[in-house]
Amino acid sequence: MKIIHISDTHLGYTAYNALDKDLGIKQREVDTHKAFEQAIDKIIEIDPDIVLHCGDLFDNVRPSNRTLTFALEQLLRLKSANIPVVIIAGNHSMPRTRDVGSIFRIFELFPNLYPIFKGKHETLAFKNPRSGQMDLMVHAIPHCLTKDDFEENLKKLKPDPEVKYNILMLHSAAKGIKEFSMGEFNEQVIETSYLKPEFNYIAMGHYHKYTQLSENTYYSGSTERFSFNDIGQEKGFLEIDLKTNDITFHPLKIREMIEIPSIDAFGKDAEFLMEKIEEAIGKNEIDEKIVRLTINGLSNSTYNTLNFKQIKKLTSPALHFDIKYIRDSEENSVQISTDSIGNLSAEFEKYLAKSVVEELDKKTILKMGKEYLQKAMSKNETN
Ligand SMILES: [Mn+2]
């Protein structure tokens, strides 16, 4: 039997200001949808016995009409090809309160779509089209309401020895391996001892980099790059042949994301820096790409005399160009983005300097405030 393991498609993701000229909507939303459509095209070509989607189908709890229609359109293409799809809810799909209800309920209305979203472990048996036997048992745990719930559900996992292939689906970070966390406040974490060898395959979602976690456990990774952490990573999905244990990663063709080598600004003036910036951009092909450049050790006076109009012109061929300006005193490092709200951090620093604060340490407030602002400003980077 052949299965497809896909995850973290984040349909409806938006970021940056660039618009798709024809559709008039955010280009990154279009990109994210195109990546999913490309994956569905390839999956139909591969013609697997089942598709397992390991969570974060949508970027948020309430997908827009456009996103929902698109998702159904694509999933129904799999239905037309007679390929069943199991989808578990990830942390991006879980309403924080029960009254919101889950959009996953809509998938129950379609045969061949099997949504798992009720916060508890479920099992589904599937027929092997060749043998006609119930050869495949899918054990799935969606995102749970609490960590204890998740733990309880993990304890209930029991591979069925009577069934030829037992597969486990999870949406979770992995404990003890810091790298496998997305650093999200509501993420669930699994002890690696639950990754039992009795399962023929364990399909994981949540961590966005394609990774083998143990002998039988894989993260397929996301289908697009949703943050600068993803620079240099290929994105795609996995094909697993349960008979031969062959695992194939199918990469997708997506928009390029690059990092330009950083520029050192210690003790340099604006004129020198402008030359360096122009040179750095000239050396790299940035057309239609997502680009980041860091400038280190910038003094206030140099920052204030930079020719921002010229920088804007130089960076405009990119779809999105992020310049990270890092001030020269490490303690007071301020990160300012070129976006219009980018100066919030500096504004906050000025405001705090003028304010009278009793019984609290200004330095701590400044540090915390900057962190919050940074978080809010990078909110368009999805996990
Ligand atoms: Mn995700």
Q: How far apart are the C-alpha atoms of 358 and 366, rounded to whole Å? A: 14
pLDDT averaged over 10-residue windows placed end to end, the chain, 383 residues: 97 91 91 98 97 95 94 96 94 66 89 92 91 92 89 93 95 75 75 86 95 93 95 97 96 97 91 94 94 92 90 95 83 47 68 74 85 73 55
CA of 348 to the centre of ligand 1 (A): 31
CA of 208 to the centre of ligand 1 (A): 6
CA of 42 to the centre of ligand 1 (A): 21
CA of 122 to the centre of ligand 1 (A): 21
Give one DSSP letter per residue of 231-257, joined into a string.
TT---EEEEEETTTTEEEEEE-----E
Residues 115 and 104 sit within 8 Å (Cβ to Cβ): yes
Do 205 and 326 belong to one domain?
A: no
CA of 9 to the centre of ligand 1 (A): 7
Do 88 and 232 belong to one domain?
A: yes
Q: What tokens were used for 368?
A: 């915390």
Q: What tokens were used for 75?
A: 């999933």
What is the pLDDT, as a whole number, of residue 314? 95
CA of 245 to the centre of ligand 1 (A): 26
- Rounded (5°) CA angle 377-15-291: 85
What is the pLDDT, as a whole number, of residue 178? 59
CA of 17 to the centre of ligand 1 (A): 22
Do 245 and 263 belong to one domain?
A: no
Q: How far apart are the C-alpha atoms of 119 and 29, rounded to whole Å? A: 28
Task: Look up residue 187 and give its DSSP letter.
Answer: -
CA of 14 to the centre of ligand 1 (A): 14
Do 208 and 222 belong to one domain?
A: yes
Do 212 and 142 belong to one domain?
A: yes
What is the pLDDT, as a whole number, of residue 329? 66
Sheet containing strand 290-298, edge to edge, reads: 257-264, 290-298, 320-327, 335-336
Q: In the chain, how many domains are there?
A: 2
- Rounded to two decimals, the pTM is 0.83
Do 276 and 290 belong to one domain?
A: yes
Give one DSSP letter per residue of 261-282, joined into a string.
EEEE-TT--HHHHHHHHHHHHH
291 phi-psi bin (left φ>0, alpha ψ -120 to 50, beta other): beta
CA of 95 to the centre of ligand 1 (A): 15
Do 273 and 326 belong to one domain?
A: yes
What is the pLDDT, as a whole number, of residue 341? 43
User: Which residues, by Cβ under 5 Å, contact ligand 1, an ion?
Assistant: 8, 56
Residues 140 and 116 sit within 8 Å (Cβ to Cβ): yes
What is the pLDDT, as a whole number, of residue 342? 45
State the residue range of the domain holding 72.
2-251
Q: How far apart are the C-alpha atoms of 120 and 149, rounded to whole Å? A: 8
Q: How far apart are the C-alpha atoms of 290 and 335, rounded to whole Å? A: 19
CA of 168 to the centre of ligand 1 (A): 18
Do 59 and 166 belong to one domain?
A: yes
Residues 171 and 142 sit within 8 Å (Cβ to Cβ): yes
CA of 331 to the centre of ligand 1 (A): 32
What is the pLDDT, as a whole number, of residue 318? 96
